[in-house]
Structure 1
Amino acid sequence: MSWIFKGTIRAEQPTGFMEELVDTVWTVVPSINSVKPAQFGKIFGVSSSLVGPVTPVIPLSPSQLAMQALQQFTRDPSPSWKSPFQQLWITAVLEADQDLLVVARTGGGKSLAYLLPPLVEPTQLSVVIQPLKALGHETMKILESHHIEGFYVDQALKQDIPHNTRVLVASVEAASQIGFFTAVSKLKPRRFIIDEAHQYLDDVTYRNYMAGVARLRGITGQFVFMTGSFSPANHTQLLQGIFNMVQVKTFREPTVRPELLWEVKDHQLGSAEGLLHLVAATWQSECKDDSSRGMVFVQSHAGVEALYQQLERMKIPVTYYHAGLDVDLAKSNANQWRVTGRCVMVGTCAFGTGINYPHVRFVIILGIPNRGNINQVFQQAGRAGRDGKLAKIILVSQKKSPWDPDEFTQTLLSPGTCPVRAFSTVLDESPSSCLSLDVSRKCSVCSVIGGRVMGLVVDDTNKTTDGMDEAGLMELDSSATPRARRALGVAPVTQFG
């Protein structure tokens, strides 16, 4: 239980002279019995001494604690949550009496799970385990920008964790080692946040570390699994199969973001260089101001560097990133992309998770995903439009796909498929499409169907969309043809007898 305390402190200058007398001070401390006068200086961040009684005024509920953290984080006395969903799961994180699985859409503020608690839990430690180095370095920058004491462990714990650390960030490799387990168990962390939790099932690289990370369950503390895309069908495999957890409270929201415009281009390219003109044209049309950025994802290191060189010859601001780069060069290139106006990043999936730059106007991905790597592609797409403005996602096919095509691949490549519908059918409990969501702009399939195109024939019995609005199309009865129903993402009607 956390409490609001009312007391009187007096702040002193470093010289020891009295500066002023503060009559009333409100703050949050973790426990009544744990607060001693000498600790107030640490809590307030000033040299101070207690000259009056400390009296508990009112216990804070988890929801009040969450709001106070948000007020401090935003420096706004009357902040608003992005959604009731966000408020609910963040409150549950601070309540810390249940393990959680949180599936929140990309750009939905999942980082608040480790940014807000330190603001109202001044003596507690949160451990954040992340899969990629780029993501770990990004997290450390964010913590620093908010003056939160963080510490990053990359491969092995080679030094003591500073006593004032409030957020311990660790790579999956580091977190899987017995030395990490031993060191962290002594610190008695409040919670463990397993970031990008889908990676434990999607990427074979991380399967080598799963047992070591799961060993952390032996340390008392809340476990919070975070991801932006995760099929409901995989819950049991992750939670019970890997982490041996049964009682986990789940928070889910639809993963599709309305500001993203999806396109699928069946170009059957032979190499990454084949993207050159598409990237150049998209950059020209979408990156119109210095804050705008673009991202292109290619599966091979050689393809990344070849496309980067061609774009550079065209005088387009560009840099590149993949796991084979020297650490210093990788950091330099990532920073170059952030600070260079209208810059395009050509990278592999090593740059595709957790990058939070807000003004990415387009993401182009070479390769059409299958069900096995749907999360990877969806995460890459999720880098776009984090400022809430329209952004383009373009998937481009190859002659020789890096992934074995399956039914999901064929669905995406079908001319009558809404990409939003295809992804949400796998990733969400209730599928949606451009027609059922308040999207910024509909895909080419849904814009034709819902756009009241005069005289458009949708089957051989001359049923047309002439005069039909979106609501009418969403209420197609069983007489609608299979082609019309497929385009809308409506299940075909089975006839009996």
Structure 2
Amino acid sequence: MTRDPLDILHETFGFRSFRGVQDQVVGRVLDGRNTLAVMPTGAGKSLCYQLPSLALDGTCLVVSPLIALMHDQLRAAEAVGIRAATLTSVDENREETIARFRAGELDLLYVAPERASNESFRNLLRQSKLALFAIDEAHCVSEWGHDFRPDYRLLRPLLDSFPEVPRLALTATADAHTQADILDQLGIPRDGLIVAGFDRPNIRYAITPRENTNAQVAEFIAAQQGPGIVYAQTRAGVEKLAERLGGAGRPVLPYHAGLDPAVRRRNQAAFVASEDMVIVATVAFGMGIDKPDVRFVVHAGLPKSIEGYYQETGRAGRDGDPAVAQLFWGADDFARARQRIGEVEAARQPGERARLTALGALVETAGCRRRILLRHFGEDAPETCGNCDNCLSPPSAIDASVTAQKFLSAVFRTGMMYGTGYIEGILLGQSSERSLMNGHESLSVFGIVEGDEVALVKPVARALLLRDALRTNAHGGLEFGPEARPILKGEKTLSLVLPPKRERRRRSKAGGEPNPIGDPLFEALRAKRRELAQEAQVPPYVIFHDSVLRDMAAARPRSIGELGRISGVGARKLEAYGSAFLDVIREAA
């Protein structure tokens, strides 16, 4: 090591100090110690290996799970003057990259785990000096993680082949069990674990029962500004929702594995470059995106786990500016999830059931959403956060046990053969040809619900399915689950969360400190950024984040020296873009 890390931080990245635990992680790496860093998305994980790649002699090898993610990170690294390259199946300059590596002309080399575990690649690595192994998205190595990738299991022999090269594993989503597994799988000592915390205070969490998915998502998006991601659960759902949202006056594109690869790449590139596009996608979309200015993430259905929810919502607000995570869920989501759990191998079922129970607690709570999230990852949290729907507009909770008993009785007395809608009709005394033919209008439960209790029937049905008191059979009929009898017998109560009355919101910022939209100088700086980004064929955020433009608009620097003192303006970007932005500021004076 020949250069001071703080000098590199300032000169290359434009920052005067480290954030959070970055200094601890970088310090361990520069000391040659193996490390696992668990840092929330947006906390600056990539800097923890980018900076050492400049400080240490040799090439830092970065193992990353997706080609799109590597290419995004490559653009960002090159923009600040780091000598970087990718070695992937789609790169046409592979021979040139290999020659640069052998000549010691690369600070960073990005590869996929499949290549990293290849013996011929291992031989290539012996032909030049290695400074560091960085394993990004390290939770993929753990079978306990939510995104297990078998190829990550093959990395240990490669790492052990170069015992003198330190290893740095990085992830944003790993509970205590997964952390321990990552340490074991990658040969990192227990004292090499650094956990920065999981809180993303700039994200506002909101969770709403699903009624009309398309209409609810469309209304939500109409109230938001900036680019966003909408996650649908199926390819057909992606297509349908993208078509519905496309008529809302803003660009909307679909993304899923069934699309032609060229279309998929084109849609992804358009989203990455856009400042206002909505992309509707399956959860396969996102890990490969290093886009910091996503202002909202919408789940149009239940995610697979809290870990998945945390990672997917974490794709919003990576730049630290306010963002919103909105989830719409239905009881049928939980019914389908339980059916899927029954199809997996027996050894995995307890863990999957625990994950589903944790999701149920998250969507059903009347308390702070963030507190439940953080406690799931083993982190203590205050009772309220002030930036989730329940903290901002506290709901009320009522004891709906009697209504639940009536609903369960109706399911039992009709033979556990009918769906939710039919049972609701029986309870409300709605006569139909079917109920007459079945003789169900003579049952004691027919018309047993009336008055104010009518409004509780649908949410009670949803809560019973969520809590596994009811299940749906293969024909869509309701039948008892293991939690039914305790509720029927009065041994367990059913508390129902009633959200506050919803007010229709106009188009607004995500909350907190917004970008100064409408400020002529800020808009002029954004326009210049778009122009420069098009010329360089990179996304606008690679030039500068919104926060940097915001500081420019506020400080109005008059010289290159003054501009260079703004956080996020490193030497390379100052040289490449400084004059152009100063001209915009002078014209606005």
Relative to the length of structure 1, the TM-score reads 0.68
Give, in whole Å, the separation in 2 of the partners of 1:297 and 1:413: 17
Q: In the alignment, which of 351, 374, 378 is matched to residue 310 of structure 2?
A: 378
Deviation of the 1:141 alpha carbon: 1.4
Give the letter aligned to residue 101 of structure 1: L
Counterpart code for 1:165 = L
Counterpart for residue 93 of structure 1: 29
Q: Report what 1:180 is aligned to.
A: 121
**Partner in structure 2 of residue 52 of structure 1:** none
Look up the match of 1:261.
204
Residue 118 of structure 1 aligns with an amino acid whose one-letter code is S
Question: CA 1:161/1:395 → structure 2, altered by over 3 Å: closer, same or farther?
Answer: farther
Q: What is the CA deviation profile of residues 460-492 of structure 1, one whole-angstrom value per residue up to 9, with x for unaligned ones?
A: xxxxxxxxxxxxxxxxxxxxxx999x99xxxxx
Q: Give, in whole Å, the separation in 2 of the partners of 1:457 and 1:367.
A: 23
Structure 1 residue 362 corresponds to structure 2 residue 287: no
1:444: how far off? 3.0
1:400–1:247 CA distance, 2 compared to 1 (3 A)? closer
- Supply the AA of the counterpart residue of 1:293: P
| Aligned residue among 390, 393, 409 for 1:445 | 390
Q: Measure the CA separation in 2 of the matches of 1:200 and 1:403.
A: 24
Match of 1:73 in 2: 12
Q: Is the 8 A contact 1:295 1:364 kept in 2?
A: yes
Question: Which range moves more in the overlay, 156-165 or 384-393?
Answer: 156-165
C-alpha deviations, 1:121-169, integer Å up to 9, x for none? 3x41101111122211211111221232222122499643523122110
Q: Which residue number in structure 2 is paired with residue 208 of structure 1? A: 150
Task: Sort the Cα spacing of 1:424 and 1:415 in 2 relative to 1 into closer, same or farther, 3 A.
Answer: closer
Please report how far the alpha carbon of residue 410 of structure 1 lies from its aligned counterpart in structure 2 after TM superposition: 1.7
For 1:134, the aligned partner's letter is A
Q: Distance in 2 between matches of 1:233 and 1:132?
A: 25
Q: Deviations over 1:191-245 (max 9, x none)?
A: 11111111223678854313422221222311111011211222222221x2344
Shift of 1:247: 5.0
Would you say the 8 A contact 1:188–1:219 is kept in 2?
Answer: no
Change (3 A) 1:169 1:248: farther
Which structure 2 residues correspond to residues 243-258 of structure 1 after superposition, within 5 A? 243-258=186-201
* 2:295 counterpart letter in structure 1: R
Structure 1's 161 and 409: CA in aligned 2 closer, same or farther, altered over 3 A?
farther
- The aligned residue for residue 420 of structure 1 is 370
1:108 matched to 2:108:
no
Q: For 2:257 and 2:125, how far apart are their aligned partners in 1? A: 28
1:302 alignment partner in structure 2: 236
Question: Structure 1 counterpart of 2:328, which letter?
Answer: V
Deviations 1:251-286 (A, max 9, x none): 11221111111111221x7xxxx5322332222212
Q: What is the aligned partner in structure 2 of residue 133 from structure 1?
A: 67
TM superposition shift of 1:116: 1.4
Residue 233 and residue 71 in structure 1: after superposition, are their counterparts in 2 closer, same or farther (change >3 A)?
same
Which residues of 2 match residues 90-489 of structure 1 at below 5 A?
A: 90-95=26-31, 97-121=32-56, 123-155=57-89, 159=95, 160-162=98-100, 163=103, 164-201=105-142, 206-217=148-159, 218-220=161-163, 221-240=165-184, 242-267=185-210, 275-287=213-225, 292-353=226-287, 355-369=289-303, 373-398=305-330, 399-401=332-334, 403-404=337-338, 406-428=356-378, 430-433=379-382, 435=384, 437=385, 441-448=386-393
Distance 2:316 2:171 in 1: 16
Shift of the alpha carbon at 1:388? 2.4
The Cα of 1:448 is off from its aligned counterpart by: 4.9
Matches of 1:67 and 1:423, distance apart in 2: 34
* Partner SS state of residue 127, structure 2: helix
CA spacing shift, 1:185–1:304, aligned 2, 3 Å: farther
How big is the shift at 1:184? 1.8
One-letter amino acid of the structure 2 residue matched with residue 235 of structure 1:
Q
CA distance in 1, matches of 2:300, 2:60: 37
Higher helix proportion (structure 1 or 2): 2
Evaluate the alpha carbon distance shift between residue 235 and residue 71 of structure 1 in structure 2; reply closer, same or farther with a 3 A threshold. Answer: same
Q: Which amino acid aligns with 2:200?
A: R
User: What is the CA distance between 1:393 and its match in structure 2?
Assistant: 0.6
Count of aligned pairs between the two proteins: 377
Would the alpha carbon gap of residues 369 and 138 (structure 1) be closer, same or farther in structure 2, given more than 3 Å must change? same
Mapped to 2, the partners of 1:316 and 1:434 lie a distance apart of 38
Quote the residue 2:509 is aligned against.
none
Amino acid of the residue matched to residue 275 of structure 1? T
CA distance in 1, matches of 2:278, 2:220: 11
Q: Residue deviations 1:19-74, cap 9 Å, x none?
A: xxxxxxxxx4xxxxxxxxxxxxxxxxxxxxxxxxxxxxxxxxxxxx2211101223
- Secondary structure at 1:350's aligned position in 2? coil
Aligned mates of 1:412, 1:350 — CA distance in 2: 23
Equivalent residue number for residue 464 of structure 1: none
Judge conservation of contact 1:197–1:226 (CA < 8 Å) in 2.
yes
Distance 2:147 2:391 in 1: 38
Gaps of 5+ in 1: 4-27, 29-64, 460-481, 488-497
Question: What SS class does the counterpart of residue 142 from structure 1 fall into?
Answer: helix
Q: Secondary structure at the match of 2:284?
A: helix
Q: Please name the residue that 1:468 is paired with.
A: none
CA RMSD of aligned residues (A): 3.2
Distance in 2, matches of 1:255 and 1:110, equals 13
Q: Deviations over 1:65-111 (max 9, x none)?
A: 221110122346xx12223x22222222222x210010111100001
Letter in 2 for 1:418: C
- Contact 2:299-2:328 at 8 Å conserved across structures: yes
For 2:319 and 2:188, how far apart are their aligned partners in 1?
A: 36
Deviation by residue 1:408-437 (Cα, 9 ceiling, x = unmatched): 122012142422122111213x331562x5
8 Å CA contact 1:369–1:403 kept in 2: the answer is no
Relative distance call for 1:264 and 1:457 in structure 2 (3 A) is closer
Distance in 2, Cα, partners of 1:168 & 1:120: 15
